[in-house]
Copies of this chain bind each other. A is one copy, B any other.
Amino acid sequence: MKTHPSPRTRVRRIPTNAAYDSATLYAIIDDAYVCHIAFTDESGPHCIPTACWREGGHLYIHGSNGSRMLKRLAESEACVTITHVDGLVMARSAFNHSMNYRSAMVYGQFEIVEGDAKRGAMEAFMEQLLPGRQAQVRGGSDKEYAATTVMRIALDEAACKVRAGGPQDDAEDMAIDTWTGVLPLQRVRAAPAPAEGAGETPGYIQQWQGKP
């Protein structure tokens, strides 16, 4: 990832919340199950959610060969965005209310991943979703791999924006006597719901619940 922002990724609105380092970017991506991808075709701009994962300096996606988005992404610019909302920030004035969040935007063009790299990427996806799962299921067949497109975008032109902490009140509002602080939002893993006929519960399923 570039240390300095490009004209497209330089954060102008509340630039003190901007971050351009790989550690921040990778942590935001690794905490996400889906990203939103903006691209444009003859009918205008589209914003489509899709599952994503990271390997090294690339973000990966996959889908059916028939996907209009994947076909279009092979030949045009895209912007990939991930956002986590961490809480509501309560201030003394209406307009100083805010949200705590972590967001990442990546610009560039996707490339198609083929051959052994394609299999490796799909296996990495499963391994990252749930370590240990891969060995307990039927792996992809040649036919399934042939019907699936895997793409990746380099994490070179990217910017993050993060807000954390309590409210920033105006000095002239400090005498207002009201509750202020943060109302946190968290994503939690709830109890696994086995399907009818499910086999024995392995450790990686037992350990699901309660993890952040």
In the complex, chain A residues 31-90 whose Cβ is within 8 Å of any chain B Cβ: 33-34, 36-40, 43-49, 51, 63-64, 66-68, 77-81, 83, 85, 87-88, 90
Q: How many copies does the complex hold?
A: 2
Q: How extensive is the interface on chain A, given as a class?
A: 35 or more
**A180 x B192 contact (CB < 8 A):** no
**Complex CA–CA separation, A202 to B79 (angstroms):** 42
**A67 x B13 contact (CB < 8 A):** yes
Least Cβ–Cβ distance between A51 and chain B, in angstroms: 6
**B198 x A181 contact (CB < 8 A):** yes
Query: In the assembled complex, which residues on chain B have CB atoms less than 8 Å from the CB atom of A48?
Result: 81, 105
**B34 x A79 contact (CB < 8 A):** no
Contact of A166 among B95, B99, B173, B193 (CB under 8 A): B193
**Complex CA–CA separation, A194 to B130 (angstroms):** 36
Contact of A47 among B79, B179, B189 (CB under 8 A): B79
